[in-house]
Amino acid sequence: MAIDGSTEMIGILGDPVSHSLSPLMQNAAFDAMGLNIAYVPLRVDADDLQAAVIGLRAMNFLGANVTIPHKIKVAAYMDDLDESALVTQAVNTIVNKEGSLKGYNTDGDGFIKALAEIKTIDFSSTRVLLLGAGGAARSVSVALAKEGASLITIVNRSPERALELISILEQFFPSLDTRMITPDDVDNGVVEEHKLIVNATPLGMKANLKAHQLPVDKLSKSHVVCDLVYVKSGMTSFEAQARKKGAATMGGLGMLIHQGAAAIHLWTGKKPPLEIMRQAIESQRSNIAKEP
């Protein structure tokens, strides 16, 4: 893809952002679509987030994706919020329409579409154990509630954030049963009674962020384990441990592809090339596998 005077810009705001596969995947998609758009990583400190958003508008960016840890804070800087972001109060996609910034959230739909690729689940009879209460956890829990989930147990380090999420869920989904426990309360019994387990924390993302210390002994064939974390080299250790126990597993890549495709549709109105996006990521993986 050649950048020239009429190239339009889209960024991804995050910190860290160097791990992100979105630039590779989204640029491959724009290339295949024949669009003169460049997608760039933008590392933004939390204190500079508002300035960065103002910059997107000033520099006529077509829009942006937003990743860890800015998804919740960035909602306050939007001119308008789509229903997907209004319920979650978390934004992962910004669309700039003639200087007006509208926030969307495509993570929840991306999660459900990716999950459907590995397993058909009757959400009304499946108890969900959700690790984390940040932006991704909000999107996933709202999407699961929309799909008819009857019980979601939230495991979070800080109780305040878990309570905030529970109050959102209670407001919009009064028939959903929500519970909150601390990571120390997660024992074999808890694992056994929840059949869908979702890691929506960054644990497992880097060597200094070790995988969730879930007691995995009670994981079995009847579990479905989703790790939203994706690592360039393949499976996270949480996913690998769950797979060893016979559980059906999903890593973060499927969700990454589907949430990214939905964002491309919002920016361009065009159908994204899902297979090209998947191949772009797979090629990166095989390059890493070849490294000494």
Which range binds ligand NAP by CB under 6 A, 29-37, 40-48, 197-205, 266-274? 197-205
> Which x/- pattern, by CB under 6 A, does the window 122-141 give for ligand NAP?
----------xxxxxx----
Question: Binders of ligand NAP among 233-272, rule CB under 6 A?
Answer: 252, 255-256, 259
Q: Which amino acid is at 257?
A: I
Give dist(CA 173, CA 176) in Å, integer: 6
Q: According to CB under 6 A, which one of 107, 153, 173, 196 is a site residue for ligand NAP?
A: 107
Which residue number is nearest to ligand NAP in terms of Cβ? 134
* CA-to-CA dists, residue 251 to 107, 197, 199, 225, angstroms: 14, 12, 10, 9
- Closer residue to ligand NAP in complex, CB, 8/24: 24
- Closer residue to ligand NAP in complex, CB, 209/289: 209
Q: What is the 3-state secondary structure (H, E, C) of 108-138?
A: HHHHHHHHHHHCCCCHHHCCEEEECCCHHHH
- Closer residue to ligand NAP in complex, CB, 11/134: 134
Which range binds ligand NAP by CB under 6 A, 4-12, 51-59, 116-124, 156-164? 156-164
3-state helix, strand, coil in the chain (%, to 5): 45, 20, 35
For 205, the token pair is 């993302």
Which range binds ligand NAP by CB under 6 A, 30-38, 55-63, 66-74, 97-105? 66-74
Give the DSSP H or E segment for 196. strand 196-199
Residue 223 interacting with ligand NAP (CB under 6 A)? no
The sign of the dihedral angle between the CA atoms of 152, 239, 68, 286 is negative
